């Protein structure tokens, strides 16, 4: 009986949230207004995604997310432009042989070019996944083959064998091993991406990596909150550490904590298919955030490595990121508060979120609201489900 009530509560909560989304964003329309507004503001005619608040620079993460969102929107022209620009400018013209540089912008000596040629494995993974799924959904084997070749390149250059733990995705090819210890980023590990690649590329490391993700989260979220960066010490486990650099958008905290990277851990966990074998373990690894949101109107911007939320509320994108997570946990009241906050901070003219229309907030909003209004989801094996394919 308790299980039936819980499921009913989740259905009622979802219906209420979808009604709110429909009223504010037109979720019944095939056109995705938020994606259209995002494209107009953050993607140029060539297919380069840039951050207006970050010296117009481009990251491979932004390119990867734009490929995914354009696939969800059935916007093939945008997908092709974003992919083509990425391959030409970040990967030396051939992503079969070279993973994209993670950062591109105006150099000190004048030209626009890659500013750091090291690749970022989360962006690489999202690109490979999006290419494989684009090949499936748009019936284009060229995309599929390229995605699989990218996956093989990721496996060769960005997958490491942690002593005493097993295979795991490193943040990039170089710079993340210090002696016998490894630096890792839990937000780089959406389990459904690995599960899908395990099906598409059974000989790869993807299944083993997927199986280890709940254990990594459980051991690294020692106080129930996800951390931005963690260090793996063989024989001793995972410990929060400071960001290795300025990080995404120059807003990473200096001390070890959970903030702009870690918020995505809750997002990914909440989007795992409800029948997925790892879903319960993933959600159970970070219970402190849902407990906090039971009594607060917004996620904290920062959480210390001792599990202490700092007073300042996170930006509106943080509220978007926890929507799937709270829904998966059946936390309907907390979820409703996040939607109220998002609607209050939504620009009615553009459909974008926040007072400063931050680039990162819009990405999180595209993920969180796109998932909740049913534009996309992930099947039991991580396969992408899109609403336009069902129509």
Quick one: pLDDT band at residue 8, thresholds 50, 70, 90?
A: very low
The whole-number pLDDT of residue 29 equals 55
pLDDT tens digits for 29-77? 578 999 999 999 999 999 999 999 878 999 999 999 999 999 999 999 9
Q: What is the DSSP letter of 331?
A: -
* Residue spans per domain, the chain: 36-157
pLDDT of 333-358, one tens digit each?
A: 999 999 999 999 999 988 999 988 99
Q: What is residue 390's predicted lDDT score, i.e. its pLDDT?
A: 77
Structure tokens at 299: 């996620």
Known active-site residue 61: yes
Which residue, 68, 85, 65, 126, is CA-closest to 361?
Answer: 65
Beta bridge pairs of residue 324: none
Residues 51, 61, 195, 252: which is the catalytic one?
Answer: 61
- The answer as to CATH 1.50.10.10 being correct for domain 36-157 is yes
pLDDT tens digits, one per residue of 318-339: 999 999 999 999 999 999 999 9
The encoded tokens of residue 339 equal 């939607």
Q: What are the two backbone dihedrals, phi and then psi, of residue 104, each rounded to the nearest 5 degrees?
A: -135, 140
Tokens, residue 372: 């909740």
Task: Enter the tokens of residue 120.
Answer: 């970022």
One DSSP character per residue, 356-369 reads S--HHHHHHHHHHH
% of the chain exceeding 90 in pLDDT: 85
Q: Looking at per-residue confidence, does 173 or 1 come out higher?
A: 173
CA dist., res. 186 & res. 203, Å (int): 24
Give me the mean pLDDT over the 205-219 stretch.
97
122 counts as catalytic: yes
Block residue for tokens 């953050």: 42
Query: In the prediction, which pLDDT does 28 show?
Result: 45
- The tens digit of pLDDT for each residue in 121-166 reads 999 999 999 999 999 999 999 999 999 999 999 999 999 999 999 9
List pLDDT tens digits, range 213-252: 999 999 999 899 999 999 999 999 999 999 987 444 444 4
pLDDT, mean of residues 96-104: 97
Query: 302: which residues sit within 8 A by CB, 6+ positions away?
Result: 253, 257, 258, 259, 309, 310, 312
User: What are the structure tokens assigned to 303, written together?
Assistant: 């959480």
For the chain, how many residues are written? 391
> Among 310, 179, 178, which residue's Cα sits nearest to residue 244?
178
Catalytic residue selected from 51, 75, 122, 195:
122
In 3D, which of 370, 360, 361, 372 has the Cα closest to residue 325? 372
CA distance 148 to 154: 10
**How high does pLDDT run on average in the chain?**
91
Q: Give pLDDT, residue 391.
A: 54
In contact, 110 and 161? CB cutoff 8 Å? no
Percent of the chain with pLDDT strictly greater than 70: 90
């Amino acid at each position: 009986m308790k299980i039936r009530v819980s499921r009913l509560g989740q259905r009622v909560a979802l219906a209420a949230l979808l009604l709110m989304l429909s009223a504010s964003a037109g979720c019944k329309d095939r056109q995705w207004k938020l994606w259209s507004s995002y494209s107009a503001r953050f993607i140029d005619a060539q297919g380069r995604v840039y951050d207006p608040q970050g010296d117009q620079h481009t990251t491979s993460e932004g390119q990867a997310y734009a490929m995914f969102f354009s696939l969800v929107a059935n916007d093939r022209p945008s997908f092709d432009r974003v992919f083509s620009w990425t391959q030409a400018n970040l990967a030396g013209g051939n992503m079969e042989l070279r993973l994209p540089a993670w950062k591109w912008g105006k150099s000190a000596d004048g030209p626009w070019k890659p500013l750091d040629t090291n690749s970022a494995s989360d962006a690489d993974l999202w690109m490979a996944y999006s290419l494989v799924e684009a090949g499936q959904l748009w019936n284009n084997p060229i995309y599929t083959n390229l995605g699989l070749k990218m996956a093989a390149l990721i496996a060769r250059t960005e997958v490491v064998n942690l002593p005493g733990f097993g295979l795991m995705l490193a943040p990039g090819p170089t710079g993340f091993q210090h002696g016998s210890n490894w630096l890792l980023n839990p937000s780089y590990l959406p389990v459904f991406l690995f599960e899908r690649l395990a099906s598409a590329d059974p000989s790869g490391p993807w299944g083993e990596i997927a199986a280890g993700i709940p254990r990594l989260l459980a051991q690294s979220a020692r106080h129930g909150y996800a951390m931005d960066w963690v260090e793996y010490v063989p024989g001793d486990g995972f410990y929060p550490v400071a960001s290795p650099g300025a990080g995404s958008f120059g807003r990473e905290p200096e001390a070890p904590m959970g903030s702009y990277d870690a918020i995505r851990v809750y997002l990914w966990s909440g989007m795992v298919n409800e029948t997925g074998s790892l879903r319960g373990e993933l959600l159970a690894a970070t219970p402190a955030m849902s407990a906090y949101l039971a009594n607060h109107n917004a996620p904290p911007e920062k959480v210390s490595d001792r599990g202490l939320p700092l007073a300042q509320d996170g930006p509106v994108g943080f509220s978007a990121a926890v929507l799937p997570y709270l829904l998966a946990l059946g936390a309907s009241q907390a979820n409703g508060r996040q939607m109220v906050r998002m609607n209050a901070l939504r620009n009615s003219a553009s459909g974008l979120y926040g007072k400063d229309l931050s680039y990162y907030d819009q990405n999180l909003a595209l993920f969180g609201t796109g998932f909740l209004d049913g534009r996309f989801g992930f099947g039991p094996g991580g396969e992408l489900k899109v609403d336009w394919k069902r129509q």
